[in-house]
Homo-oligomer: A and B are copies of this chain.
């Protein structure tokens, strides 16, 4: 069987591992995007050991190390970027977020703790406060003289911020606000910097003056000095967490703590000395959403950090999978490279496609964010779009990052479980990204509500009959509506022609049509079912919404996926190198067809795909896309542009290849020596 060793490489052979292929240098720059310089600068910091996580520190040591790293960031001048030039900043909002996203490569604790200090605490003073607060408070906050907490969430209220229990009651006699925690559920909770390092906090509370509750407002409040909590302030340590243990999360509560009237962060609402409340925003609802709108910054950066982490995970798993060998199948003396196994490709390559899609979609999100925060594109509609986009993408990317980190860890076997290979710790740290800065399930419901609003606006001028007809045609019995009938014809036309089916599904316009149609139909269907909700009693309306809650969330997810697909598709338009374009188009197809494959039942039930075309999708992925992409897998992760100081995973360092080589040489020399023991199996076979 020696001739087998010399047979030409097949598509599944590791000999095809590397081809002339794609322009990784260009692609690397392209992936870094508009704020490439900020990203490169941050990656430079990441590669320095003093910014990196150290394993097996105690909780106290981790917290001290991370706090020390915050000081180093100040020394490096790496924290002022987003702030006004008057405060030593650059007014560079996109670059600031881009830079912090990359910090996740050093240690997610550092990313999030700096996010608490500058992205939440300082940003709240900047965006919710006015000139008097900026000048007085921000210099000390920016240089970390005043570490602080962002005291919004309470034990009893996370997602429903409007319902928090902490009160700030104005006392006209002393011209002070009395900050008070009326019951245990109103303790502030999960606050970074609260357990240990925080000296002050931005506290969110119900502003009450002259017997009226004007809703949630933010107050600046010193909480601690060298000796501990200030009078009236108490708290508790949240203790060890599932990850992010470099951050000292804790609880705070207040017993009639008095703060001067001027320490209300009064940009959107103010109280005069006599207790009169004024606001530039008349609607309490809109005022509330405007104030918490600054939170979008956190969602944007979690989306970006999830992209960076997913890139790292796949860099590690695909590098290792291209070197690791296990089981002999084709050749008696050479084991297969595990990335040559179909299953291994099925596990990693669709996730690579998702990561590219997330990366391009994030660039669009960051651009929108920069537009709003720089003021360049900052109409109400721009703000609303930004919030919806962030609410759609953050859930998808944070969940995807956990999924990708986990699959990468499993694809590396036992080695993936070792801390030295980083995947488990990153996953543990990123776990909470799916529920903080907006619980993913809650965010997707916000997106669904926006989709429904847009839908009803679209049909606002149409008469009720037209709307009803549209809805009926979209959402009527799957067996009879017009799409169903149209696709029945497709079924017959395709009969026996797999090639025609494949041609259909891989076409860009077909993918767009299928993905768009699903979102539109789901939204129309929901709109139809919910259209009478405002005529019902609150209880019945709540029941009706609740009976459709799962599908609302699925519609929002489908919308987010479509946005990712569109971002990937738009990104293809910028690619000039033919080979790079070809490979990225395959990768985009893998992403798009993967989405359709995941929801195949929907397409079949609703008559959008025939069984023939549905089968063609899976076959096309398995038989064409995966084998075609396999030889480019290494290039596609090389393009992420990581250097060893950013990767820091032993198994992705080349040691596996060295070990394989050493073993192969040992066996080869042994065979050549003539001293190799005979395999009992071969004796048995000969007998």
A186 interfacial contact with B, CB 8 Å: yes
Q: Is A64 an interface residue (CB 8 A)?
A: no
Across the interface, name the chain B residue whose C-beta is closest to A597: B601
The interface residues of chain B lying within 8 Å CB-to-CB of A185 are 659-660, 662-663
Residue A424 lies at the interface, judged by CB distance under 8 Å to chain B? yes
From B283, B330, B546, B678, contact of A212 by CB (8 A): B678
Enumerate chain B residues within 8 angstroms of A283, measured Cβ to Cβ. Answer: 684
| 8 Å CB contact of A183 from B159, B604, B662 | B662
Q: In the bound complex, do residue A242 and residue B425 qualify as a contact, i.e. CB atoms below 8 Å apart? A: yes
Contact B189 A414 (CB under 8 A): yes
Inter-subunit contact B612/A332 (CB<8 Å): no
Say whether A504 faces chain B, with CB atoms less than 8 Å apart: no
Q: Mark A536-579, 1 if CB is under 8 A from B, else 0.
A: 01110011011111100100000000000000000000000000
| CB contact list, A227-260 vs B, under 8 A | 238-243
Q: Which of A18-26, A31-39, A94-102, A341-349 contacts B (4 or more CB under 8 A)?
A: A341-349
Q: How large is the interface on A (under 10, 10 to 19, 20 to 34, 35 or more residues)?
A: 35 or more
Mask, A583-596, CB within 8 Å of B = 1, is 00000000000000
In the docked arrangement, what's the CA distance between A491 and B12, Å?
Answer: 42
Say how far A666's CB is from chain B's closest CB, in angstroms: 5
**Within 8 Å CB of A659, what residues of B?**
155-156, 183-185
Q: How far is the CB of A414 from chain B (nearest CB, A)?
A: 5
A428 touching B604, Cβ below 8 Å: no
**A441 proximal to B (CB < 8 A):** yes
Asked if A327 CB lies within 8 Å of chain B CBs, one says: yes
Smallest CB–CB gap between A59 and chain B, Å? 5
**Contact at B435–A414, with CB atoms within 8 Å?**
yes
Residue in B336, B420, B436 whose beta carbon sits within 8 Å of that of A414 in the complex: B436
Cβ–Cβ contact B428 & A409, under 8 A: no
B4, A538: Cβ atoms under 8 Å? yes
Assess whether A538 is in contact with B330, with CB atoms less than 8 Å apart: yes
User: Within 8 Å CB of A605, what residues of B?
Assistant: 600, 604, 611, 614-615
Most chain B CB within a 10 A radius of its CB, from A55, A340, A414: A414
A478 touches B612 (CB 8 A): yes
Given A241-B418, A539-B331, do A343 and B441 touch, yes or no (CB 8 Å)? yes
User: Which B residue sits closest to A426, measured CB to CB?
Assistant: B242
| Contact between A165 and B663, CB atoms less than 8 A apart | yes
CB <8 Å contact, A416 and B428: no
Q: When the two chains form their complex, are residues B158 and A326 in contact, meaning their CB atoms are under 8 A apart?
A: yes
Asked if A434 lies at the interface with its beta carbon under 8 angstroms from chain B, I say: yes
Q: Are A666 and B611 in contact (CB under 8 A)?
A: no
* Contact yes or no, A663 B56, CB < 8 A: no
A432:B420 contact, CB within 8 angstroms: no
B interface footprint on A605-619 (CB within 8 Å = 1, 0 otherwise): 111001110110000
Q: 20 A–B contact pairs at CB < 8 A?
A: A10-B543, A156-B659, A163-B335, A184-B658, A185-B662, A213-B680, A239-B419, A240-B420, A242-B418, A242-B423, A242-B428, A243-B417, A330-B543, A342-B546, A410-B440, A414-B432, A424-B431, A478-B612, A547-B622, A601-B614
